[in-house]
Amino acid sequence: MTAASQHGGPDATSARAATLSGPSVRSVRSRLRSATARRVAFGYLLLAPAGLYVLLLVGAPFFFSLYLAVTDATVADPVANFVGLENFRAALESDVFWIALRNSIVFLLVAAIFKSLLGTTLAFLLLQEFPGKKLVRGLVVIPFTLPVTISVLNWKWMYDSQFSVINWALNAVGLIGGYGSPSWPIWLGQPELALGACIAVNVWRTFPFSAIVLLAGFTSVPPEILDAAKVDGCSFLQRFRHVVVPMIFPILMVGFLFDTVFTLSDLSVVYLLTGGGPANATKILPVLAYQVGIQAGALGRGAAIALFLVPLLLPMLYLMLRNIKRREY
Amino acid sequence: MTAPQTHAQKERRRLIWVYAGLAPFLFIAMLPLYWMIVTAFKQNQDLYRMDVFPLWFNLAPTLDHFRTLFYQTNYGAWIMNTLVVAAWVAVITLLAAVPAGYALARLRLPGAENAGIAIFMTYLVPPIILFLPLSRVVSMLGLQDSWWALVVVYPTFTIPFCAWLMMGFFKTVPMEMEEAARVDGCGYLGALVRVVLPVSLPGMLTAVIFAFTLSMQDFLYGLAFVSPGDQKPVPVGVPTELIRGDVYYWGSIMGAALLVGLPVAILYNFFLDRFIQGITGGVGK
């Protein structure tokens, strides 16, 4: 429908309407209103499958998990009793919960620092023109595109206690002693090394994502603006700080928030590498929620632990929402 | 400073710096993959020793690990499961996401913008919060312990993402064609089916690819909902079935990982820019 037709202009729809029902303005208007109603009804009909799926299998489960969290439901006993905030209290009183919370936050922050450093450097390099750029870009993003469990298994093999290829290389250049000597690191078996080893895998997997998001931001800055700033006598750092960063900030934010949500809630890296061990050194909230909820069968307890992620994620979702909306209008 | 550099010299120096800067990134990104490939083809006597250079074959390469995979494990079944689950997920995703994306982008629905954002936000509700209640849903439907459970739950993240992607896509399709079709007597449905869908095939292909590659990134749902050994998809079967107690068949594990992981990685690679566009700018155009 065009603007002209809405004002009763001489386009095909209203012309046909006119021939059918005579030159009555009221009938044209009512026809148009029913066309609008039909369009809206059709629209909601098209939206219904996706909307229902999401409501039934994301919305409803989310509220169901709120319900589970205040009951004593277990895998074995589906008849649940209301226990109030008992599950949350139990979580807050257990040491392992606080260890998991601390590990989750350390994991998130340390990984974010390394990802942004590596990602920014790589993005600047990929911003250059050079022969073979497409190939290099394609190869360097492979860590991000490999299915996560597959690359984590690969790292588990590289961290092997006895046949670690990393240790072989460190030993070959003389940084560590042979297998069995005290300086031979067992990456996933020593509490002081294990969390770092897990963080390294997360960084390895996602630094290409940071780089590509940044690159998308950089290339969205019109070169004329940078040239103008250059002509005005801005140095490289000034241009970066006052022109590039404000312009790419929204994209940067979305990429950052996206990564935060996925890093904070990811179970696979730690679960497959260490299962949360040794001695809870790598226990993070998702692993704890899985072990309590499924392996120990305490659905209510597990749901309560998983829900502790919500206050951590909520500010992220809020910021993201604000960002998307601001860019739109 | 010596004599002023020519342009060609300067350019060569710049290139050297760029390649030198990229080399460590390529090394970090590729070494694990390279190690995966070498491991998959090494004989066990060659694999489990530390006294020789490990990054190349010291004994002849072998296909033994792949034979083990196909003759002594459920690997063949996992590949089938992966493909069948992916196909169903793609179909469900298309049926839901394409109409939704179209409605949100083109029909000027009241509240369309907010509805679009709400659907995208559900993509960011992490599985770790949903998997316990979903395990109840799955057992209510009687689908526990079968790959059908995954067909039901994977669209919870593929539909939001692909609806968002299609919404961005439909915004770029010129409006005049469908209006012309509608004026020529096609209804809304007629215009959608006859005019909009044919020009939207590239967008729909992208949605199918993401239904597949995003499903391949799952671990939690597969781990929690599917326990029989012959029902798992590859990304879940390899880590849960090929590791038996403390015995690791690294050659077979890496072979299994390589055979499926590499094609997925390459496919995803081609569509990575669309993925980034999807999450950073589906609306802002």
One DSSP character per residue, A160-174 reads -TTT-HHHHHHHHTT
Measuring CA to CA, which residue among B196, B266, B233, B198 is closest to residue B89?
B233
Q: Are residues B111 and B178 in the same domain?
A: yes
Q: Are residues B48 and B111 in the same domain?
A: no
The DSSP symbol for B266 reads: H
Domain range summary for chain A, segments of one domain joined by +: 3-52, 87-328
Q: Are residues B47 and B185 in the same domain?
A: no
Residue A161 confidence (pLDDT): 86
Q: Which of B62, B86, B105 is the last residue of a domain?
A: B62
Determine, for residues A130 and B19 on separate chains, whether the beta-carbon distance falls below 8 Å.
Answer: yes
Domain with B13, as residue range(s), is: 7-62
Structure tokens at B192: 């959608």
Flag whether residue B22 sits within 8 Å of chain A, measured between CB atoms: yes
Q: Are residues B153 and B201 in the same domain?
A: yes
Domain A87-328 fold is MetI-like fold (1.10.3720)
CATH number of domain containing B237: 1.10.3720.10
Strand pairing report for B243-244 and B247-248: antiparallel
Of the candidates B47, B99, B126, the beta carbon closest to that of A46 is on: B99
Chain A residue with Cα closest to B15 = A130
Q: What is the distance in angstroms between the CA of the first residue and the CA of the last residue of chain A?
A: 23
Structure tokens at B4: 């002023």
Task: Choose the weakest-confidence range: B76-80, B120-124, B192-196.
Answer: B192-196
Cβ proximity of A54 and B156 under 8 Å: yes
Decide if pLDDT at A40 tops 70.
yes
Cβ proximity of B168 and B281 under 8 Å: yes
Residues 90-129 of B with CB under 8 A from A: 92, 95-97, 99-100, 102-104, 107-110, 112-113, 115, 117, 119-122, 124-129
Residue A323 confidence (pLDDT): 67
The ipTM of this complex is 0.88
At B134, the amino acid letter reads: L
The DSSP symbol for A240 reads: I
At B57, the amino acid letter reads: F
Instruction: Collect all residues with Cβ–Cβ distance below 8 Å to A161 and sequence separation of at least 6.
Output: A186, A188, A189
Q: Is residue B67 assigned to a domain?
A: no
Q: Are residues B206 and B246 in the same domain?
A: yes
- pLDDT tens-digit readout, A130-185: 998 889 999 999 999 999 999 999 999 999 888 888 989 898 888 888 888 888 89
User: Based on the structure, what is the number of domains in chain B?
Assistant: 2
Determine, for residues A328 and B284 on separate chains, whether the beta-carbon distance falls below 8 Å.
Answer: yes
Flag whether residue A218 sits within 8 Å of chain B, measured between CB atoms: no
Q: Which helix (H) or strand (E) holds A26?
A: helix A25-54
Contacts of A258 in chain B (CB under 8 A): 124, 279
Q: What is the DSSP string of A71-113?
A: B---SS-----B-TTHHHHHHHH-HHHHHHHHHHHHHHHHHHH
Site of tokens 């010291």? B58
- pLDDT tens-digit readout, A209-229: 999 888 888 888 888 888 888
Mean pLDDT calculated for residue range A73-91: 83
Q: Are residues B37 and B171 in the same domain?
A: no
Cβ proximity of B149 and B138 under 8 Å: yes
Q: Is residue B2 assigned to a domain?
A: no
Q: Is residue B68 assigned to a domain?
A: no
Instruction: Collect all residues with Cβ–Cβ distance below 8 Å to A229 and sequence separation of at least 6.
Output: A238, A239, A242, A243
Measuring CA to CA, which residue among B225, B155, B249, B259 is closest to residue A146?
B259
Mean pLDDT (chain A, rounded): 84
